[in-house]
Structure 1
Amino acid sequence: MLKILTNNRLFFIFFLVWVLFGAILQLISSPTDLMFLINQHHSLELDAFFRFVTTLGEDTIWLILLLALLYRHFVKKVKQTAIVKFLLISWILKVLVSLFLKNIFNHPRPIEVYQNSGRAINLVEGVTLHHWQSFPSGHTTTAFAFACFCAIVFRKTSLSIILLVMAMLVGFSRMYLFQHFPRDVFAGSILGVAVVVVMAKFFYKKEEISA
């Protein structure tokens, strides 16, 4: 476990900053204040940007990476067996854990809570709002798990930081689009990283899961 953390120290340092900042923000502000602070600072450009960014938290990114690894394995003849197993198990596990928690808690989403509050809500055209299963944020879990997986496997600092920033933007987009509360995003980010780190502990062999 220590080797995983030290080999990717910059990624985990920035992730720790994200976690600490999120925790402090939630301690000093109410969910309602945070939701409307984010939602009310909007524009047509931001609406379009975050509508796109949120799609980066869908499982399509895992499928694309899987196909790329399989291409390298079967066409380029670069051995990727352990990495593919690591990816598949991490991917499936994060889906199962996220769905399990969503069904166990079944918390209402922001639109369900505030739709009759009388407060102005910025709704982005083309975005379908869900009303339940808010905790945790599945998109955020997916994005952070993907970023962590790539950091561990590819060990490229610049790529790791870019993907981590992408994951943060995905998490922010879920609040901007009024799909999730801060707690959902906060929990989703920790869950995504935790699942991949736990799996990496069992798979970790430098010559096998480092591409």
Structure 2
Amino acid sequence: MSYSRESAFFFSDSEDRKRFFRRMAIRDYRFSTWLRLVAPLCLLMACVGFASGFYGEAPRHLFAGMRSQYPLLTATLDVVSDYADNVIFVVYLGVLVQAIAAKDRCKQVFFFRFFVGLVGVLLLVSLVKGLCGIPRPGIPLPAAPLSFTYHFGSFPSAYTAQIVALALPLVFFFRKRWLHIAMPIVITLVGFARLWLGKHHPVDIFGGVLFGSLILFFMFRKARGVL
């Protein structure tokens, strides 16, 4: 199998290529690894869905009452929803700076693939939002396909998709134990925050997990079976 174009551009010798593809092949990571990362959020959304519905006004009314009862928690989740992705972006920026300073070709290509994959995922999410035109909580049906407006852009959750797309590559590439612990917590907090704040229905969060996970296809699909 031939090497990808970005690999030919970044790598100066075959050892660099081999080291990169060994890491990117993620042979030690299977479906179970992905499942462990997204399962807490998915289980939480399933519990909410079976208790009050996966779509509709019941989940919105449930969390509207809770928001008034727990203002501090609401303020905390609001901060998490708005800034968790920015913190992880800083981590990626640090990876890029370190990779350039150390002339680490593996991390440079990792960042390149991550950037392309993230842009692809977010563009796809925006397209699906506009095509489906699903009303946000509090906005009555019917849907408004092709509207491309905020009020009819509930499915899928872009914030959830983005945090999943940010978290998964870090875990799969760097293989650090603390990332296996921290990233599921971050994913769960952001996804739950979107529901708590009345921005999405439970089904929207599931959609965000699904579309955000597609970044693994963008980043790692060419690496499988190369070596």
- Under TM normalisation by the shorter chain, which class is it? 0.7 to 0.9
CA deviation string 1:115-149 (max 9, x = no partner):
xxxxxxxxxxxxxxx52211100000011111111
* Cα pair 1:151 1:160 within 8 Å, conserved: yes
Aligned 1:74-85 pairs, distance under 5 A: 74-79=100-105, 80-85=107-112
Structure 1: distance between partners of 2:94 and 2:26: 29
CA deviation string 1:84-140 (max 9, x = no partner):
1221122111111110101101111113239xxxxxxxxxxxxxxx52211100000
Using the TM superposition, give the Cα deviation of residue 20 of structure 1 relative to its aligned residue in structure 2, in angstroms.
5.1
Aligned 1:25-64 pairs, distance under 5 A: 25-27=48-50, 29-30=52-53, 31=55, 32-42=57-67, 43-56=70-83, 58=85, 60-61=86-87, 63-64=89-90
**Larger Rg computed on CA atoms:** 2
1:88 paired residue among 115, 118, 133: 115
Question: 2:215 maps to which residue?
Answer: 196
Structure 1: distance between partners of 2:98 and 2:198: 39
Of residues 184-193 and 134-143 in structure 1, the stretch that sits farther from structure 2 once superposed is 184-193
Question: 1:139 maps to which residue?
Answer: 159
Aligned residues with identical type, % of pairs: 21
CA 1:73–1:14: 2 relative to 1, 3 Å: closer
Q: How many residues align?
A: 188
CA 1:203–1:72: 2 relative to 1, 3 Å: farther
- Return structure 1 stretches of 4+ with deviation > 4 angstroms: 8-11
Question: 1:173 maps to which residue?
Answer: 193
1:108 paired residue among 119, 122, 135: 135
Using the TM superposition, give the Cα deviation of residue 36 of structure 1 relative to its aligned residue in structure 2, in angstroms.
2.2
Using the TM superposition, give the Cα deviation of residue 153 of structure 1 relative to its aligned residue in structure 2, in angstroms.
1.4
Structure 1: distance between partners of 2:121 and 2:47: 26
One-letter amino acid of the structure 2 residue matched with residue 166 of structure 1: V
Using the TM superposition, give the Cα deviation of residue 52 of structure 1 relative to its aligned residue in structure 2, in angstroms.
0.3
Structure 1: distance between partners of 2:84 and 2:151: 19
Question: 2:169 maps to which residue?
Answer: 149
CA RMSD of aligned residues (A): 2.8
Question: 1:70 maps to which residue?
Answer: 96
Structure 2: distance between partners of 1:178 and 1:135: 13
TM-score normalised to the size of structure 2?
Answer: 0.71
